[in-house]
Amino acid sequence: MNGKKHPDTIHSPNKRARRGYQSDASFRPAIACVGIDFGTSRTGFAYAFMDRQDEIFCREPGGQEPGKTLTNLLLTRDEEFIAFGSRAREEYYEGDPSALFFENFKMLLNEVDGGSYPVVSALNGREASLRTVLAHSLKYVKDEAMATLNRCSAVEIKADQVKWVVTVPAIWSDCAKAMMRKAALDAALIKEETSQLLQLALEPEAACMVCERENVCLRAGDQFMVVDCGGGTIDITMSCVHSCNPLSLDELAAPSGGPWGSTYVDREFEKFILELLGEQAFNCSKESVVWIEVLRTWEAVKNSFDPKGLAKVAFSNLNGGVQGGMSMGTGEGASGRSGGRVINLAPLLVLNNLQLEPLVQAFNQKHPDKPLQIRMMTAVMLPNELIMSFFAPVLRNITRHISRLISSHRIDYIFVVGGFAESKVLQENLKFNFEACDRRIVVPTRPSLAVVRGAVMFQLSQGERFRSRIARFTYGCDILEPFDPFDRRHRDRKLHFKTEEGKMVPYVRIFNPLVLKGTRMSPSFEVTQAQFESVEDSQDMCDFDILASVEEEVQNIEDAKTIGSVGVKLKAGQEAALSLSFGKTEIQATAMNLTTGEKSRAVIDWGFDSV
Ligand SMILES: Nc1ncnc2c1ncn2[C@@H]1O[C@H](COP(=O)(O)OP(=O)(O)OP(=O)(O)O)[C@@H](O)[C@H]1O
Ligand SMILES: [Mg+2]
């Protein structure tokens, strides 16, 4: 077939909108910069004025503290806004039980692959679109940020005089990141989706700016890892310092991590309550507002939990694979401390008409190694062994993952940031496993605010910090090739028949790679492939579907997802080329007719307009 490739115009699944970058309609110089860390469990914002860039302030939305508030949203049953943050939790607890209370919804964003927004379940089981929930939440944070800026400014500041930075997990798909931009548009942070007043920053990359400025003086050649330990994910980036002042970095590997954040420790606690109360009572409790109160108490226990003096036993057991629980002493725990580990179960017992004593007896019989003690008739004191077992699965996953990463890369510093990084258990675990004479673990003073402060620093520092990045996926397009029974890639593929000179010729649709996963890319990286021609004489357009896959070598086209499309006019006998260029956050695809010189460009659109 003369090495020619035929873009598959016949089986393009869906044609997506094509858009180019637009400039902001009414450009005015920015007066301030606001970073929003919209986390799975906590949300905060930070800001700086352009004329005083050294002073970065953090604020809890709805409060005065330099912190983050809960990512909780309360809507009326007609989906009107009531409250966001800890206020949402309090109002739900005190108010109308038919209102819609949402938490932990950010993680759903990474589960979509382009079709439509998923629905989110409220605590009472009612559902709403994730788009609505995100828009209300971001709008609240934006309004809070604008009110804060205006409180301390002599002139009135409008949203389009602010440079916005919204942080996203580095391990998110490009698609999930694009949804965040849409949410920012819905919340009126920006007026056009492509506005350059909004920048998305990767959470660990933003945090690394704070670590670098405050904690260590990095030198050229140093290699470091940033571990962002949040509520939902552990998000890891690894970089090598190319040069300092200004800091310029090479990415050592594509970001990685997993769903091992602090809320997974909470899930283990929930499993414990399920076992203690039984399924029926547990389900009934979870739908009730009193459940929120139990979680609040557990949060306090979790956050203050300190396994001091027990780390050696605990963590070496963990590395050996803690299947059967931790052996860290008995009764009140080897530390002998008992305060701060009591959970009041009275509301759950009343709700379900249960007595605590038989429940505790049954639990202790099954788990003599981590016995519960009853306090004041309706509360239980959790032994250290039990609390450690809630942490064990996430610690095990984090340890395994970091071990794998440092076995293939020299790492001089591990910066640990995020709210979960405040945990003594996590800090001790990382120190025990990874601190060495040539490797330091560094936790900044307020690790939970490193991402949001770093987001502002990231935006203010202007230039691109990264000299090179690693491709997260294998990118390519689909083509039709004449069927070759001796070609491994063609075996067991569905055949498409075309009429050529009166004969039926079989073709197969295959994945044609353009960029392989793991390829090192500079900020202006571009790849072009030519020799595409149309299959049918009657064809007058050449449409390329752009595909991405997590596989490095894509054997089956079904392993790749369509992420966009671009087309150009092309008649029989003419040749087309396709280019992909990788900017900071989006991919641009260009189709060219090499015979006529005509070009068409598309910023990959993820196809959410169907919502
Ligand atoms: N001392 C502590 N021990 C254990 N967990 C903690 C502690 N302090 C805070 N956390 C947990 O950290 C989480 C909040 O951290 P952070 O604000 O970094 O997460 P997030 O940004 O909401 O999540 P993500 O980055 O995954 O989207 C909460 O789940 C909270 O319970
Ligand atoms: Mg976070």
Handedness of CA 348, 352, 356, 361 (dihedral sign): negative
**SS3 of 565, please?**
strand
Whether residue 398 sits in one domain with residue 425: yes
Handedness of CA 191, 16, 173, 474 (dihedral sign): negative
Question: In 289-344, at which residue ranges do the beta strands (DSSP E only) sit?
Answer: 342-344
As a whole number of angstroms, the distance between CA 90 and CA 73 comes to 11
Predicted pLDDT of residue 610 = 30
As a whole number of angstroms, the distance between CA 201 and CA 35 comes to 9
Asked whether residue 511 is assigned to any structural domain, the reply reads yes
69 lines ligand 1 (CB under 6 A): no
Whether residue 226 sits in one domain with residue 182: no
Which positions ≥6 away from 547 have C-beta within 8 Å? 475, 476, 477, 478, 511, 554, 557, 560, 561, 562, 563
- Mean pLDDT of the chain, nearest integer: 83
The residue from 167, 202, 237 where one domain ends is 202
Contact predicate 495/508, CB 8 Å? yes
Check residue 448 and give left, alpha or beta (phi > 0: left; psi -120 to 50: alpha): alpha
Whether residue 236 sits in one domain with residue 196: no
Contact predicate 164/184, CB 8 Å? yes
Whether residue 416 sits in one domain with residue 525: no
Whether residue 548 sits in one domain with residue 475: yes
Asked whether residue 112 carries a pLDDT value surpassing 70, the answer given is no
**Number of domain units in the chain:** 3
The count of C-alpha atoms lying within 13 angstroms of the C-alpha of 138, restricted to the half-sphere facing its C-beta, is 29
Asked whether residue 460 is assigned to any structural domain, the reply reads no
590 lines ligand 1 (CB under 6 A): no
40 lines ligand 1 (CB under 6 A): yes
Asked whether residue 450 is assigned to any structural domain, the reply reads no
As a whole number of angstroms, the distance between CA 552 and CA 548 comes to 10
Predicted pLDDT of residue 464 = 64
The lowest-confidence range among 40-54, 166-180, 224-238 is 166-180
Q: Which of 97, 80, 173 is nearest to 135 (CA)?
A: 80
The residue contributing the CA closest to ligand 1 atom 15 is 419
- Beta-ladder partners of 155: none
The lowest-confidence range among 112-126, 136-150, 211-225, 427-441 is 112-126
- Beta-ladder partners of 248: 243
Could you tell me whether strands 474-482 and 503-515 are parallel, antiparallel, or unpaired per DSSP bridges? antiparallel
- Residue 369 CA to ligand 1 centre (angstroms): 29
Q: What are phi and psi of 419, to 5 degrees?
A: -60, -40
Asked whether residue 456 is assigned to any structural domain, the reply reads no
pLDDT tens-place string over residues 28-46: 678 999 999 999 999 999 9
Contact predicate 63/116, CB 8 Å? no
pLDDT tens-place string over residues 545-584: 888 888 888 888 888 888 888 889 988 888 999 999 876 5
Region 310-336: mean pLDDT is 43
The residue contributing the CA closest to ligand 1 atom 31 is 262
Q: Which of 23, 22, 32, 36 is nearest to 158 (CA)?
A: 32
pLDDT tens-place string over residues 364-402: 999 999 899 998 888 999 999 999 999 999 999 999 999
- Residue 229 CA to ligand 1 centre (angstroms): 7
The residue from 178, 202, 226 where one domain ends is 202
Most confident of 76-85, 118-127, 592-601: 76-85
- Residue 160 CA to ligand 1 centre (angstroms): 31
Which CATH number goes with the domain that contains 599? Answer: 2.60.34.10
What letter represents residue 418's amino acid?
G
230 lines ligand 1 (CB under 6 A): yes
Ligand nearest to the CA of 229: 1
- Residue 585 CA to ligand 1 centre (angstroms): 26
Predicted pLDDT of residue 606 = 46
What is the span of the domain harbouring residue 16? Answer: 6-20+471-610
533: which 2 tokens? Answer: 């021609």
Whether residue 500 sits in one domain with residue 421: no
Predicted pLDDT of residue 11 = 32
Asked whether residue 1 is assigned to any structural domain, the reply reads no
Q: Which of 80, 100, 86 is nearest to 42 (CA)?
A: 86
As a whole number of angstroms, the distance between CA 190 and CA 192 comes to 6
Name the band, by pLDDT with cuts 50, 70 and 90, for residue 315: low
Whether residue 222 sits in one domain with residue 190: no
Whether residue 253 sits in one domain with residue 182: no
The residue contributing the CA closest to ligand 1 atom 19 is 230
Q: Which of 386, 328, 490, 462 is nearest to 50 (CA)?
A: 462
Q: What percent of the chain has pLDDT over 90?
A: 42
Asked whether residue 193 is assigned to any structural domain, the reply reads yes
Which CATH number goes with the domain that contains 39? Answer: 3.30.420.40
Predicted pLDDT of residue 499 = 73
**SS3 of 351, please?**
helix
Asked whether residue 27 is assigned to any structural domain, the reply reads no
Ligand 1: nearest atom to the Cα of 68 = 17
DSSP class of 383: P
Whether residue 251 sits in one domain with residue 105: no
Contact predicate 565/114, CB 8 Å? no
As a whole number of angstroms, the distance between CA 450 and CA 448 comes to 6
As a whole number of angstroms, the distance between CA 401 and CA 393 comes to 12
Asked whether residue 215 carries a pLDDT value surpassing 80, the answer given is no
The residue from 424, 443, 462 where one domain ends is 443
Contact predicate 521/582, CB 8 Å? yes
- Residue 260 CA to ligand 1 centre (angstroms): 11
Which residue bears the tokens 């295959």?
510
Contact predicate 283/123, CB 8 Å? no
Exposure string for 213-224, b = 16+ CB within 10 A, e = fewer: eebeebeeebbb
- DSSP per-residue codes, 179-218: HHHHHHHHTTS-SSTT-TTEEEEEHHHHHHHHHHHHT---
- DSSP per-residue codes, 114-173: SS-PPEEE-TTS-EEEHHHHHHHHHHHHHHHHHHHHHHT-SS---GGGEEEEEEE-TTS-
Asked whether residue 505 is assigned to any structural domain, the reply reads yes
Whether residue 232 sits in one domain with residue 184: no
Whether residue 582 sits in one domain with residue 485: yes
Whether residue 424 sits in one domain with residue 380: yes
